[in-house]
Structure 1
Amino acid sequence: MLTVDFDRLGIAPGQRAIDIGAGAGRHSFELYRRGVDVVAFDRSAEDMKAVADMFVAMELEGQVPEGTLARAEVGDALALPYEDSSFDIVLISEVLEHVPEDERAIAELVRVLKPGGVAAVTVPRWFPEKVCWALSDAYHEVEGGHVRIYKADELAGKLTSAGLKVSGTGFAHALHAPYWWLKCAVGVDNNDNPLTKAYHRMLVWDLMKGPWITRTAERLLDPVMGKSVVFYLEKPGISGAAQ
């Protein structure tokens, strides 16, 4: 389940990308499939071990173009262990809402992005997130949980102040918003509620089958209630993609 629309980034094989806060690796795997040399980067050593194993499996199964490189590394998004202008593409998806020093994390992603490079930043959208917070303290008051709710113009301001240009925006996962509202209403740790169980089955069916009815519904609903907002960005300067 991808939050970022990679076609909007204009990426090409042979470019170098970092997926900051890669988690289970969903965006890293897609970059790898598209022939991009990718670094999956996260603070969780356990997650990065699983992602590294999947990179190996993808190569063995012939899912990636020959010669494409991928690795998983553990570290801190506030102090990326890479030189300035190291990457053509930077992703940070559903991470900044967890980071108290979000402007520091943004400065780091800008630092490692090449002039002329592109980035995608996603966070929970204000309205769906506001509903979740109103329904449940447990949704966000957990260790490592969400520390803020972004308004789109607030985050856009932080990104542009750090040196990026917003080239476009998008929304994603409208069908997931009601699921989380239900979860928050009945208890985020309540896994036996019949409504949430039924809704979860529908989401799994949608993920596995991609039926036209749910794909069409989500496409129409995303601008209204998409759970995530996506910023597509550029770092002004001469493109380093061919370097």
Structure 2
Amino acid sequence: MLTVDFDKLGVRPGQRVLDLGAGAGRHSFELYRRGADVVAYDQDAAELEQVDEMFAAMKAEGHVPDGAQAQAVVGDALALPFPDGHFDCAIASEIMEHIPDDTAAMDELVRVVRPGGRVVVTVPRYGPERVCWALSDEYHEVEGGHVRIYTAGELIGKLADSGLRPAFHHHAHALHAPYWWIKCAVGTENDGHPLPKLYHRFLVWDLMQRPWITRTAERLLDPVIGKSLAVYLGKPGAASAAG
């Protein structure tokens, strides 16, 4: 399930791309499949081991273009071990809401992107997220959980203050918002409740089958209750020849 629209981001083969807060690697795998040189970066070493294994399997099975490279790197979002301007593009998907010092993380993200490069940041959308917080304290009051809810204006303003120029934004995953509302209503740890289990089966079916009726419904509902906000930005400056 991808939150970032890679066609809109415009990633091309051979470009260096950072996936900050890569988690289980969903965006990193798509970048690799498209021929980018990917760094999947996260603080969870165990999860990144599995990401590295998937990178190796994708290459062995011929699912990536010749010459594409991918690696998983463990580290802190507040101290990225890369030189200034190292990446052509960077993704930070569903991570900023977890970081107490989000401004420092944004500054680091901008630092490692070259002038003329592109950045996309995604976070939970204000409205659907506010419903989750209202229904359940345990949804966000957990170690490593969400520490804030962004409005679109707040997120875009912070990223602009860090040196990025906003281009456009969209919303995604409208069909997932009701799932989390149900989970919060019945208890996020209540794994045996039939309502979230039934809805989760529906989401898995939709992900695997992608029927036109649910794809159309989500496209129409995304502007209204899309679970995620995705903001696309550029770093001012002259683009390099590779850009």
| TM-score range for the pair, normalised by the shorter chain length | over 0.9
Query: Following TM superposition, by how much is the alpha carbon of 1:241 offset from its aligned partner in structure 2, in angstroms?
Result: 5.5
In the alignment, what sits opposite 1:75?
75
2:24 partner SS: coil
Q: TM-score, normalised by structure 2?
A: 0.99
Q: Which amino acid aligns with 1:89?
A: C
Q: Is 1:40–2:40 an aligned residue pair?
A: yes
Render the CA deviation track for 1:94-133: whole Å, top value 9, x for unaligned.
0000000000000000000000000110000000000000
How many Å separate the matches in 2 of 1:23 and 1:211? 28
User: In structure 1, the residue corresponding to 2:174 is in which secondary structure?
Assistant: coil
* 2:242 aligned residue: 242
Provide the rounded CA distance (Å) in 2 between the counterparts of 1:2 and 1:224: 19
- Tell me the CA shift for residue 213 of structure 1: 1.1
Same amino acid, percent of matched pairs = 65
- In the alignment, what sits opposite 2:119? 119
Equivalent residues of 1:88, 1:240 under 8 A apart:
no
- Alignment gaps of 5+ in structure 2: none
Per the alignment, residue 22 of structure 2 pairs with 22
Q: How far apart are the structure 1 equivalents of 2:140 and 2:94?
A: 13
SS in 2 for 1:57: helix
Q: Does structure 2 retain, via aligned residues, the 8 Å contact 1:117–1:241?
A: no
Other-structure match for 1:6: 6
Which residue is equivalent to 1:128? 128
CA distance in 2 between partners of 1:204 and 1:135 (Å)? 24
Which residue is equivalent to 2:203? 203
SS in 1 for 2:203: helix
Q: Residue type matched to 1:222 in 2?
A: D
Q: What CA distance in whole angstroms lies between the structure 1 residues aligned with 2:194 and 2:144?
A: 28
CA distance 1:113–1:241, shift in 2 (3 Å): farther
Contact 1:88 1:241 in 2 (8 A): no
TM-score by length of 1: 0.99
1:1-243 superposed matches below 5 A:
1-240=1-240, 242=242
Post-superposition Cα deviations, 1:180-225, rounded to whole Å, max 9, x if no partner, equal 0000000001111111111000000011111111111111100000
Calculate the aligned-residue CA RMSD, in Å: 0.8
Aligned equivalents of 2:188, 2:165: Cα separation in 1: 37
SS of the counterpart of 2:80? Answer: coil
Aligned positions, number: 243
4+ runs of 1 displaced by more than 2 Å?
none
Give the gaps of 5 or more residues in structure 1: none
CA–CA distance in structure 2, aligned partners of residues 240 and 11 of structure 1: 14
Aligned CA distance change for structure 1 residues 220 and 241 (closer, same or farther; 3 Å):
farther
Which amino acid letter does the alignment assign opposite residue 148 of structure 1?
Answer: R
Residue 240 of structure 1 deviates from its aligned partner by 2.8
2:230 partner SS: strand
